[in-house]
Amino acid sequence: MNAAGFISKRIFSLSKENLSSTVMRIAVVSVALGIAIMLVSIAIVVGFKHQIKDKVVGFVAPIHIQALNQNESIEETPFVYDSVLAARLDRPFITAVNKTANKAGIIKTDEEIQAVVLKGVDHEYNWNYISSYLLEGETPKYLDNERSNDIVISKIISQKMNLKVGDDVRIWFVDPEMKARGRKLNVKGIYETGLSECDERFVYCDLNQIRRLNGWDDNQIGHLEVWVDDESKIADYNQTLYYSIPTNLVSYSAMETYPQIFDWLELQDMNVFIIITLMLFVAGITVISMLLIIILERTSTIGLLKSMGASNGLIRSIFMKHSFKILLIGMAIGNVFGLSVCLIQKYTNLISLSPESYYLSAVPIEMNVWYILALNIGTMVLWMLMLLLPTMLINNIRPSKSIRFE
């Protein structure tokens, strides 16, 4: 043990009943609370962003391709998914391509009426996403050369229209000649993703139904859903596809399809930044105040050490080592408390949320070891730099006066 560490261990103690010991305990609590709040805040925001992003991307697909036109309505301009387009989409980062189409309609029962968007999918469609949010029933099994009457509706629509699995429902459409056409369909399943913008509108049906309603050929579709291997690179992949597909087509990423949701998620970063800044500032001021009080209380000790030949650097290192110990104790307690809160919430969903407002039913938690290490190391370095300021006071202490200091 070096001289600074030995002296620090001998003259400082949290167990003593004096002013500096009380201040040190307060500093430990302040540091622990600061670290715990920062850890929980980051875990919540990271989990919040990832879970909502996964929901949105899972519902609308990372990238979708449609005909380039000025049509702002739900009705889509059809195009053919042929071998030429398939070859252009033969990219190593593309994992799947789904053929789909949307069509506006109105669900009408004896008591209620509801505007919806039918999302037509074919026999190759991957139902994994909807299956994970399926509350009742099952997903339909569509065939390539037949039209199925089975549909999957959301919980919101089922409650509004008083529908349940197995019920028949009539959906009305308006054709290009402004004539109303109805189709009697059967509810096969009920899902709930928590994305109110999607759950309130979309009904899954057979793509062949939309082709028949629109008078399309068997090889025509409304848009393509493109799935990729790395969702963190969606923007780059979309840019690549945009310049690869024919000029009569255009590609959009999920972020461009629902910009309001992703813009809202980006605002959460500012909230975390403000919380972390406040916690760093409050806990840092508390630690600085602690060190100032300890220095003032130990003025006579500092004078004695100087009179015995100790340099300012040695004395500063004594107080810095002690402050470092206080920080370590506080940070250890804060990490244990913060991570415990995160684990409890992660596995029990103790704190719930309103899905209508937050898209999730419980506060999400995502713990990443790199975030935790970066937070702890960055916080420790910043607080130690802040502690250099009060130690400058040691340079101004004179042995001749400080030894008599009380």
Domain boundary among 246, 274, 295: 246
Q: What is the enclosing helix (H) or strand (E) of 113?
A: strand 113-121
Residues 93, 190: one domain?
Answer: yes
| Tens-binned pLDDT, residue by residue, of the chain (406 aa) | 565 555 555 555 555 555 567 777 888 888 899 899 989 988 988 888 888 888 888 888 899 899 887 666 677 888 998 888 888 898 999 999 999 999 988 988 877 888 899 999 999 998 999 999 999 999 999 988 889 999 999 999 999 998 999 999 998 887 666 677 888 999 999 999 888 888 888 999 999 999 988 889 888 999 999 999 988 899 899 999 999 898 889 999 988 888 887 787 777 778 788 888 888 888 888 888 877 777 777 677 767 777 776 677 777 777 787 788 888 888 999 999 999 999 999 999 888 888 777 778 888 898 888 888 988 998 888 888 888 877 777 666 666 555 554 4
Residues 42, 109: one domain?
Answer: no
Residues 83, 220: one domain?
Answer: yes
Q: Give phi and psi for 108, each to the nearest 5.
A: -130, 125
Residues 94, 166: one domain?
Answer: yes
Which neighbouring-strand residues pair with 136? 190
Residues 367, 225: one domain?
Answer: no
Helix (H, G, I), strand (E, B) or coil at 189: strand
Domain, as residue range, for 135 = 69-246
Q: What is the enclosing helix (H) or strand (E) of 188?
A: strand 180-191
For residues 235 and 80, give the distance between their C-alpha atoms in angstroms, rounded to a whole number: 25
Residues 105, 233: one domain?
Answer: yes
Q: Which two tokens stand for residue 273?
A: 């930044």
Count structural domains, the chain. 2
In a domain, 31, yes or no: yes
For residues 319 and 337, give the distance between their C-alpha atoms in angstroms, rounded to a whole number: 27
Residues 112, 231: one domain?
Answer: yes
Which neighbouring-strand residues pair with 227? 96
Residues 190, 271: one domain?
Answer: no
Residues 231, 357: one domain?
Answer: no
